[in-house]
Amino acid sequence: MRTVREQALAAKQAKAKLQQATTMQKNELLLEMADRLIAAEAYLMEANEKDLDNGRTNGMSTSLLDRLSLNKTRIEAMAEGLRQIADLPDPIGTVLSEIERPNGLRIEQLRVPIGVIGMIYEARPNVTVDAAGLSLKTGNAVVLRGGTAALNTNVALVGVLHGALKACNLPTDALQYVEDPDRKSVDELLTANGLVDVVIPRGGRSLIQHVVKHATVPAIETGEGICHTFLDETADPAMARNIVLNAKVQRPSVCNSLETLLIHRDFATREWPELAKYLQEAGVELRGDARAASIAHGVTPAVDEDWSTEYLDLILSVAIVDSLDEAMEHIRNYGTLHSECIVTENDEHAIRFLNEVDAAAVYHNASTRFTDGFEFGFGAEIGISTQKLHARGPMGLPALTTVQYRIHGNGQVRK
Amino acid sequence: MRTVREQALAAKQAKAKLQQATTMQKNELLLEMADRLIAAEAYLMEANEKDLDNGRTNGMSTSLLDRLSLNKTRIEAMAEGLRQIADLPDPIGTVLSEIERPNGLRIEQLRVPIGVIGMIYEARPNVTVDAAGLSLKTGNAVVLRGGTAALNTNVALVGVLHGALKACNLPTDALQYVEDPDRKSVDELLTANGLVDVVIPRGGRSLIQHVVKHATVPAIETGEGICHTFLDETADPAMARNIVLNAKVQRPSVCNSLETLLIHRDFATREWPELAKYLQEAGVELRGDARAASIAHGVTPAVDEDWSTEYLDLILSVAIVDSLDEAMEHIRNYGTLHSECIVTENDEHAIRFLNEVDAAAVYHNASTRFTDGFEFGFGAEIGISTQKLHARGPMGLPALTTVQYRIHGNGQVRK
């Protein structure tokens, strides 16, 4: 078995060839990958069954077993994802700027592949296929390190995708899978400076914090979302109810769902009792500050920890505030720079909120659930960046590119 | 004395106010800073004299003492730099894209300040003023940690700049200087996650490597440049000579200067003896591989280490290669992704070189010395990024910004 550094070096060498592939060649590869996944259904299911057996033996929870398991529909969905990536415009080679200097130098700035991307992720095997597809479409080599529980499935998937690379006469080394189940192999990937250009973690908070702490290779922090919605004094009551219910209830397990509701005291007096009832009828447990608990029924007292908890569940913390400023102060203290919303009919307040709140996405009168690459019209998403460098918010294909200056001269020297 | 975390927290709080300053207010601040530096000449010189005294006592080299010392001209140059920054367009608020989705959501992507920038640097006090000016112009708060040898000078400079912030009714906390001379304070800045949004090191290799290794806050790697120039078979001899001499001799101490010359064997046979003479006459010591040493006089044998050394001095390593591919292979092995050049009259070779060489800046027929924010027409430069995330190559004002999505709705919820 090759070491992680050996795999990363092989990826780096393969990337030189991969970068010369045309858009058409890369799209043909993606379609070939899709076809081969469909054709390999039985083989993939067999490998997946081993992981599921191990999972059951190790007492894995039903919901984790469900995330891990493949079936015909899921394999078809992976293939369909690859076909969609093939359909997207190729960002590589786009000229972002072109200037001519007084000395005659022509300086172009172009999008180019990043080089070698490291992806570290957990249980769901579809990330293996997604990450390979997105990386290869953008001319990047990729080193994948998925969760150990999905090892057999992931290795089988990568084997099938290698077949497609071979069939398309592209280097199989451009797609590497780290099989070593030891956590040490993660850290080797995180410190492969000079070989790996960026690592992207996808998973829960502890994985992401581990990456932020231990990576010496540049990393992109993704994911955690303690998202707030502020119902201003002048919010439209029906709109407020729709937005809050959607943001909390439609899919509570994802990062762009609502965790803390902030309500202006005057709006709360008029509307909070009824809104609380709607939420409770939708199965939401309410945890409120003293005022929120006193105005509506069935609200349990929130403790300090509630304001900084990403529930990812049908639980909502609620605070009543005296002003827009107090709402923004709360968000400044507890937000994770992901998605924040104001519901208001007061345009001045809306403008202040959008201007002053620091988050990847700030909303006026819409559900935070829209923070998503597909909903933003990007056609694909590698993750949602909650840091401020390189990429912020939903990351589409351009987030897997870097830029290069190309300078065309005819003998210019510096004075 | 406040701890680094306390300073970073104060900066984070100040940034909220700073971000609301208009372009006009920020420009007035920069001009006020410039005026006050000029007016404070005597005060600054006095503080600087203390640092110089300490330096002399500690046996500091003449060249370091020179880098540390202030005089009327240098103070005027700092002020002039601030005035130039005031003249530059403000990137904040620029709308990078605006889309309307089928559901009526309007999604704008705007440039916004990053937030709090940490700068870690060494001896030259002008970095204090540059970094403050560039950060404040882009609406960022900044925490500076300069070299201990310049502590008195830097504290005096920051004191003068604080006067300008006060006079302009902007928070002095937006500009912080870490006075603690203990190296531990650097590491506190590097790990101030949640308070500091990015750290930018400026200095020698060991400082930058320390930052890359120890930062948990996102960092931008700057600086190291082992730049190559490849003289192809068909290079124009006069142009080749001009470019090589300029790239090596004009200012050898900087990162975009030439360190290794690669020459096609056929060009070498014809031209290397004369070119070597020109270089030697300009005071350049030549270290070559066996063929380079056999063709020209006075070339000492290069050892392995030479190919990976950034001399920053009048020394040049020279290798003769058989082909364009061999030249690109050498660059792949020893380059630092900074600036690489091909001199050729063969357009096909030029295109291949520009397409296939991985570096921030790739040149056809021009000196690598042009990799510079001013030469690229950016009007200012925070540093030259040699990594691939966020910013690559010379970093102008936009490199000190991030983006934000602002979503304008009228009640949209996700289906």
- List B residues 386-405 in contact with A (Cβ-Cβ < 8 A): 387-390, 392-393, 402-405
Report CB contact under 8 Å: B414, A193: no
Count Cα neighbours of A358 within 13 Å in the Cβ-side half-sphere: 28
User: What is the structure's pLDDT at B308?
Assistant: 93
What is the DSSP code string of A240-302?
HHHHHHHHHHS-TTSTTSEEEEEEEHHHHHHHHHHHHHHHHHTT-EEEE-HHHHHHSTTPEEP
Partner residue opposite A388 with nearest CB, options B197, B354, B411: B197
Q: Give me the tens of pLDDT residue by residue for chain B, a chain 415 residues long.
A: 899 999 999 999 999 899 999 999 999 999 999 999 999 999 999 999 999 999 999 999 888 898 899 999 999 999 999 999 999 999 999 999 999 999 999 999 999 999 999 999 987 899 999 999 999 999 999 999 999 999 999 999 999 999 999 999 999 999 999 999 898 999 999 999 989 999 999 887 888 889 988 999 999 888 788 999 999 999 999 999 999 999 999 999 888 999 999 999 999 999 999 999 999 999 999 999 999 999 999 999 999 999 999 999 999 999 999 999 999 999 999 999 999 999 999 999 999 999 999 999 999 999 999 999 889 988 778 889 988 999 999 998 999 999 999 999 999 999 9
Q: What is the pTM of this model?
A: 0.89
**What per-residue confidence (pLDDT) applies to A206?**
86
A229 touches chain B (CB under 8 A): no
pLDDT digits (tens, 9 = 90+) for A343-398: 999 999 999 999 999 999 999 999 999 999 889 988 778 889 988 999 999 998 99
Angle of helix B151-167 relative to helix B41-57, nearest 10 degrees, comes to: 160
pLDDT at residue A260, rounded to an integer: 98
What are the structural domain ranges in chain A?
A: 4-221+390-408, 227-370
Nearest CA in chain B to A328: B16
What pLDDT does A55 receive? 95
Do A47 and A155 meet the contact criterion of CB atoms below 8 Å apart?
A: yes
Low-confidence ranges of chain A (pLDDT < 70): none
pLDDT at A279: 98
Name residues 178-217 of chain A within 8 A of B (Cβ): 193, 197-198, 212-213, 216
**DSSP character for A191?**
T
Dist CA A18 CA A138 (whole Å)? 10
Count the Cβ atoms, other than its own, within 10 Å of residue A243.
27
Chain A, chain B: beta-carbon pairs less than 8 Å apart? 198
pLDDT given for residue B330 in this prediction: 97
Q: Which CATH superfamily is domain B4-221+390-408 in?
A: Aldehyde Dehydrogenase; Chain A, domain 1 (3.40.605.10)
pLDDT digits (tens, 9 = 90+) for A201-248: 988 788 888 998 899 999 988 878 899 999 999 999 999 999 999 999
DSSP string computed for B137-174: HTT-EEEEE--GGGHHHHHHHHHHHHHHHHHTT--GGG
Question: Which residues from B are below 8 Å from A367, CB to CB?
Answer: 412-414
CA distance B52 to chain A (A): 32
> Could you write out the three-class secondary structure of B339-407?
EEEEECCCHHHHHHHHHHCCCCEEEEEECHHHCCCCCCCCCCCCEEECCCCCCCEEECHHHHEEEEEEE
Between A20, A112, A414, which is nearest B370 by CB?
A: A414
List chain B residues with CB under 8 Å of A369: 413-414
Please say whether the beta carbons of A115 and A90 come within 8 A: no
* Contact call for A377 and B101, based on CB within 8 A: yes
- Cross-chain CB nearest to B218 (options A361, A387, A409): A387
Q: How buried is B172 (Cβ within 10 angstroms: 0-12 exposed, 13-18 middle, 19+ buried)?
A: middle
CA B205 to chain CA centroid, Å, is 13
CA distance A155 to chain B (A): 29
The whole-angstrom distance between B214's CA and the closest CA on chain A is 8
CB distance B247 to B341 below 8 Å: yes
User: Residue B101: its chain A contacts at CB < 8 A?
Assistant: 375-377
pLDDT value for B284: 97
Is some CB atom of chain B closer than 8 A to the CB atom of A414?
Answer: yes
Q: B408 has which bridge partners?
A: A364, B106
Q: Tell me the shortest Cα–Cα distance from A239 to chain B, in angstroms.
A: 5
**Residue B233 in contact with partner chain A when CB distance is under 8 A:** no
Residue B216 C-alpha from the chain's centroid: 21
Q: What pLDDT was estimated at residue B27? A: 98
Distance from CA of A66 to the nearest CA of B (A): 24
Residue A64, pLDDT score: 86
Partners of A97 on chain B (C-beta within 8 Å) are none
Q: Contact, A341 vs A243, CB < 8 A?
A: yes
Residue numbers in A near B362 (CB within 8 A): 404-407
Distance from A58 to chain B by nearest Cα, in Å?
34
Grouping H, G, I as helix, E, B as strand and the rest as coil, residue A223 is coil
Domain B227-370: give its CATH architecture.
3-Layer(aba) Sandwich (3.40)
Contact B365 A101 (CB under 8 A): no
Contact between residue A21 and residue A139 where contact means Cβ atoms under 8 Å apart: yes
Residue A125, classed as helix, strand or coil, is: coil
Is-same-fold flag (B4-221+390-408; B227-370)?
no
| Smallest Cα distance from B346 to chain A, Å | 13
- At residue B136, φ and ψ (nearest 5 deg) are -70, -35
Distance (Å, rounded) from C-alpha A257 to C-alpha A238? Answer: 19
Axis-axis angle for helices A23-39, A72-87 (nearest 10):
170
Question: What backbone phi and psi angles, to 5 degrees, belong to B51?
Answer: -65, -40
Q: What residues of B are in contact with residue A411 (Cβ under 8 Å)?
A: 236, 239, 242-243, 365-366
Q: What is the pLDDT of residue A100?
A: 95
Instruction: Please indicate whether, in this complex, the C-beta atoms of B365 and A410 are within 8 angstroms of each other.
Output: yes
